[in-house]
Structure 1
């Protein structure tokens, strides 16, 4: 069976790709914007570059495909509702044209009413569009809170639980939901390939019903912590969003979208999971939390919620850097060192490993960024040991990575312009460059104001990279 997977660089998509690769009954195709975003190239995979807004690339991707996974959303864009509709309609139209038999879609639990958030409404509308052509069957899985290492919901719950012994919470913490382990979501998605059913089907998936308060208390129990929650009825959505923005890795926009979705219950509306997939029994919430924490502790996090963000790594990095107005460059001779050791040294930067010295300045910059609605430093690293293109690295994004040669980071903090940080090994030298393209007078003032700090931070950084490489 020939299968197309979209969203393969996202949280669910990366994990599902590994499962599909191990399935000998299928030939796997991927639709990606840039081949560099695929972390592991396998001979079994056929990769098509393009997106759902380009019908020509869609035709190539869906050609001869029997089953297509639709794991796409545009939440990082302001007009995501309109984009999601266009994307879903394009996908369905081309799928019907190419003779695709089945679309498998992962949406969110919930029903349409006056309390339905815009984000959830968009996921429902996407499912309705994908189910609107009688010539293409759609299996529409609906999940609520997904618990797994790197999922947005779990990172929020874990961070709040670990950092705050006493929490003042809004009334939404009493809203009921049915969380589900990411491993169970993947099992349903994989088994959807082999479902012997001809009609469209909505399958609601989840484990036990819990309030968000229960989830935090159960997480605290697994972590061996004692936590107290005090509910304050006057906390608004905006205030709660700022609270999550400050104490968790998610930025304000994501926090607000998630919290708006907590106004209404997200519980299972049908028994189709048991009826059509009797071989899958979802694990308990506590077991899902234990598995997630184990993956984090063992540096086995396959994907994170912020893997697929604004797609900056899909740009031509070299051309982007060439427009920089300001450049701060340091060079050190490394002819007496192995290039692999120097490379290993600089790709270990950030996250729990820190930024060598002057970490307090990075922390201060991260706090300021969070306060003005940026991503801050709390996102850390997916793994403390390795990097891949599209990884988040504190408030940077990995846009290019060449083994024993180069690491290029794109700034995702709030800045009046665009910024990059590059580490490159060339001609027996380590070349460290900070690039900045200012926007207007404010951008230029911003750069000049930071010149004194750059002198100390960047000089020390390149020296520390060399020092660490020698130790390796």
Structure 2
């Protein structure tokens, strides 16, 4: 009988990559998510059991944990809002209690590396929370393996994106003092190897559980990481000038202005870099032996990650993860919508283009393709969003051609996806209300294709109403231009395909 594993956080960066590794290792895998439908478009979706569960709703946990041998706790919020530490610790205790009641034999948790000599109370809020989550999980009495990693180098990770954009975009940098802090980065492939190995490690090795630092082959300062990245990428030498005046808050805004990682996410990462995070020992080799070829070095990890980015083969991204406790307000057309003012911009057109050609243009929207209208207006909206602490347009796309449910798309997220027919995006920029952009493609009875586009906005308060009417004069250019240019692209591609077919014939 196969061992069974529950993966929480399967919609996230590490969880989405761990699932296929566990399947290949011979585990029966169950994935828990607040919205299991968000997992349906993964290549491994039909090979796993998908269940609904929320660590903040203890009543949903027993069914998810029933019959499970090993439970992976991969839930963590990179926000640092009021009360987030207490929320995360409460969630971990609820999960641990439910796991104990369900007879789970082992918990595996991926946390953050913290220097031994620094008291927990003096750690950054981000690291302090991760340490306390580990303590909460171990308090269950279930043998718990806590793996603590520093900077994870892999395509799509927040740490890698921060490093990549800072190095590639800034040949000369005035940087904070933390660029001189020593770090032991680790390749995401080694992280996954440790996670899988922790599940099958013998009981006498795991014992009552324990904390294990995991790191790669190299110990570097952040400055050395940027210089080494530039060498691997074939970039000219980077000039890095540390100064003492940049606080973590200012540093996070600096990172947010240059990289796709917004200041709200960059801040906990930057605050953690104030601490030296180097493995205290290599006891983890007793738990999971090193591979014959040894651990992956920093240069090789960067090369592997860059190759994935260049080949558009990034399977998961930091931005696709759910935020602990994120709200999920209904679409205004849902049956449980509470009413109130709802603004709409609806546009429709019929064309003599095959539906699949129009859909291809719909699914390619955003990222490098852009939004098919008034690029300056979209760019300005992205800049304004960054200025007020939002995510802006820099998140781009996971894949240039295809989308998955839950994917981030610039400052939108894919909320509904019926391939070939419907794409609904939910706005995640800073707004005085809720917004959606919906695109439908349908064949008509006359053999033509109907394209229907809706922009919906539910205002919050007076400022929400003022916001809508302030931007309404631009809708004809922005949304009207989007319809025209999207269909023009579909027509051009259809014409190009027909020409190629005729030439081949």
Shift of 1:358: 1.4
- Distance in 1 (CA, whole Å) between partners of 2:361 and 2:434 is 25
Within a 5 Å distance, the mapping from 1:147-158 to structure 2 comes to: 147-158=153-164
Alignment match, 1:249 = 260
Summarize deviations over 1:408-437 as a string: whole Å, max 9, x none: 111111111111111012454211111111
Shift of 1:126: 0.5
Alignment match, 1:269 = 280
| Contact 2:8–2:74 (Cα < 8 Å) also in 1 | yes
| Contact 1:62–1:100 (Cα < 8 Å) also in 2 | yes
| Contact 1:313–1:397 (Cα < 8 Å) also in 2 | no
Alignment match, 2:149 = 143
Within a 5 Å distance, the mapping from 1:352-367 to structure 2 comes to: 352-367=368-383
Summarize deviations over 1:296-347 as a string: whole Å, max 9, x none: 111100111111134879554442697661101110013x222221111111
| Contact 1:324–1:435 (Cα < 8 Å) also in 2 | no
Shift of 1:101: 0.4
Alignment match, 1:52 = 55
Alignment match, 1:468 = 489
Residue 127 (str. 1) matches residue 103 (str. 2): no
- Distance in 2 (CA, whole Å) between partners of 1:91 and 1:312 is 18
Residue 410 (str. 1) matches residue 410 (str. 2): no
Alignment match, 1:288 = 301
| Contact 1:313–1:390 (Cα < 8 Å) also in 2 | no
TM-score by length of 2: 0.89
Alignment match, 1:298 = 311
Change (3 A) 1:372 1:314: closer
Shift of 1:131: 1.1
Change (3 A) 1:307 1:58: same
How many residues get paired? 469
Gaps of 5+ in 2: 494-505
Q: Partner of 2:320: helix, strand, or coil? A: coil
- Distance in 1 (CA, whole Å) between partners of 2:301 and 2:174 is 25
- Distance in 2 (CA, whole Å) between partners of 1:386 and 1:125 is 39
| Contact 1:76–1:309 (Cα < 8 Å) also in 2 | no
Q: Partner of 2:391: helix, strand, or coil? A: coil
Alignment match, 1:106 = 110
Residue 18 (str. 1) matches residue 20 (str. 2): yes
Within a 5 Å distance, the mapping from 1:2-401 to structure 2 comes to: 2-23=4-25, 25-38=26-39, 39-40=41-42, 42-76=45-79, 78=81, 79-111=83-115, 112-113=118-119, 115-134=122-141, 136-196=142-202, 197=205, 198-207=207-216, 208-225=218-235, 226-280=237-291, 281-310=294-323, 316-317=330-331, 318-319=333-334, 325-334=342-351, 336-401=352-417
- Distance in 2 (CA, whole Å) between partners of 1:77 and 1:184 is 28
Of 7-16 and 306-315, more deviation after overlay is shown by: 306-315
Shift of 1:234: 1.4
Shift of 1:270: 2.5
Shift of 1:5: 0.7
Of 79-88 and 319-328, more deviation after overlay is shown by: 319-328
Q: Partner of 2:88: helix, strand, or coil? A: helix
Gaps of 5+ in 1: none
- Distance in 2 (CA, whole Å) between partners of 1:330 and 1:31 is 38
Shift of 1:149: 0.6
- Distance in 2 (CA, whole Å) between partners of 1:349 and 1:285 is 34
Change (3 A) 1:417 1:115: same
Change (3 A) 1:137 1:324: farther
